[in-house]
Structure 1
Amino acid sequence: MSEKNHDGKRAARERLAVEREKQKHTEKRRRALIVGASIVCVLGLAAVVGVLAVNAGRNKGEKAGPVVAPSGAQGKDSLAIPIGKDGAKSTLIIWEDVRCPACQAFEIAYRPTLHALADSGKLRIEYHLVRLIDGNLGGTGSLRGANALACAQDIAKFRDYHDVLYANQPKETDDAYADNTKLIDLAGKVGGLKTPAFQKCVEDGIHDSWVNKSQKAFQSGGFTGTPTVLLGGKNIAQDQTMTPAKLKQMVETAARG
């Protein structure tokens, strides 16, 4: 083999090794983002974005009115929608935006575990609904979707409808959930939800002001993006080592303790 050919093959091997290392790093980062739920829809945006998020809908379909909390809402200012047993040893606090793809990624990865832990009485979940993406990208899909979820809570169908909205979530740039008709049609996938009362609640924006109040609480809490998932005061959405199995172990250990 000539020296020239030898050098050429060595250079090719080195380029291939570099490319493989890049691919390995990219795949590792992708798994960490999805499985660890460390991605967020909004990161470190200026405070003006939060203000826009609250006010954006007023120019497009939002009906100003009194703050009406959904049935069964709890916590400070009745901003939390609870799932699971009140006496559970562990409480998971989730701040989410129904239009947020990172929230969907968290749901896909963790939903079966959260359902099982809540149903077993070991975990209580408190959902807080916000509208960050409305302010970031424009539109009212976050607001309309959150209002519809609150309307579903009024009929004790929150969890099932919550699952349906995330399963059918449009692309982040597609403000499809701004259409009340779409939200009402999706309610048909949940038995007993698509009722005249639910439809009126959605169309009238009964819980719009409540959603905006939740958005303000999110801002004042100093959170930086969705999903924010708090367990024992720590945001596990920022923990790249967190997995559904690890969360399950933590909750079950607390339940035994």
Structure 2
Amino acid sequence: MSEKNRQGKRTARERLAEEREKQKSAEKRRRVLIVGASVVCVLGLAAVIGVVAANVGKDDGSESAGPVVVPSGAKGKDSLAIPVGKESAKSTLTVWEDFRCPACKAFETAYRPVIHELTNSGQLKVDYHLATIIDGNMGGTGSRTAANAAACAQDAGKFTAYHDVLFDNQPEETDDAFAENSKVIELAAKVDGLDTPAFRTCVEKGTHNSWVDKSAAAFRNGGFTGTPTVILDGKNIYQDQTMTPAKLKQLVQEAAKG
């Protein structure tokens, strides 16, 4: 074999080796990006919260119309908490959410299965509080209308299922689709037994609008930095960058054991 041919084959092998190394590096970068994205979705969502929190004080300031009508079973200070789970649970998770808030949807997507598991097993009670900061930040009334509809669902004993449906069907943050009564009523059809004349009347009359406004005011005056705000037995766990659904489950189970 001539020296020229040997050099040609060696050069070809070198190019092939270089190409394989490039492919390995690209695959490694791809895996890192996938893992990194997963961590952001599960743990902090801090960047999203930062956008929401930047104007946290700018609620829409809607004036309450009519008397405050408390949803059935609401508890806590001024009856502003909608409780889910057994009262005997040793751990309480306090969650402030806005149905138009994308970070709230991300939290629900990541943590909902564990929260449902723990509430269904009697180990955790969740107190849901409803906020309307996106109405103020982006304009519109969708946060308020959706919150009123969720309170109407609470009257029917269907809060948890409807709460989940609203987040699963959340429009883009700039799209005020939830402001339309027809939209939140349409979504009620996804919850067995919720779309009734009583529910529709509650939504269309804005029966709990003043209660929602009172809840929104409590959020503004509570010193919170954004939604979601998630507090486990007095500790803000959403600000804990090490928090995961598995860690939340561990903390609750340890408390349950006493």
| Fold equivalence (TM over 0.5) | yes
Q: Which structure is larger by alpha-carbon Rg, 1 or 2?
A: 2
1:36 aligns with 2:37: no
| Counterpart residue number, 2:59 | 53
TM-score w.r.t. the length of structure 1 is 0.84
Deviation per CA, 1:69-112: give whole Å up to 9, x if none: 10000000000000001011100000000011111111111111
Shift of 1:230: 0.2
Aligned length in residues: 241
- Structure 2 SS opposite 1:94: strand
**Is the 8 Å Cα contact of residues 97 and 133 (structure 1) preserved in structure 2?**
yes
How big is the alpha-carbon RMSD for the aligned residues of Structure 1 and Structure 2?
Answer: 2.6
Deviation per CA, 1:162-211: give whole Å up to 9, x if none: 11111111111111100110100110111110011100110111111111
| Counterpart residue number, 2:74 | 73
TM-score w.r.t. the length of structure 2 is 0.84
**Is the 8 Å Cα contact of residues 53 and 227 (structure 2) preserved in structure 1?**
no
**Is the 8 Å Cα contact of residues 36 and 241 (structure 1) preserved in structure 2?**
yes
| Counterpart residue number, 2:203 | 202
Matching of residues 1-257 of structure 1 within 5 Å: 30-39=37-46, 40-41=48-49, 42-45=51-54, 50=57, 52-55=58-61, 57=62, 64-257=65-258
Shift of 1:144: 0.5
**Is the 8 Å Cα contact of residues 81 and 126 (structure 1) preserved in structure 2?**
yes
Q: Percent identity?
A: 60
What is the letter of the counterpart of residue 214 of structure 2? Answer: K
- Structure 1 SS opposite 2:192: coil
- Report the Cα distance in structure 2 between the residues aligned to 1:180 and 1:243, rounded to whole angstroms: 36
Change (3 A) 1:136 1:255: same
Structure 2: runs of 5+ lacking an equivalent: 1-6, 8-22
Structure 1: runs of 5+ lacking an equivalent: 2-15
| Counterpart residue number, 2:18 | none
Shift of 1:54: 3.9
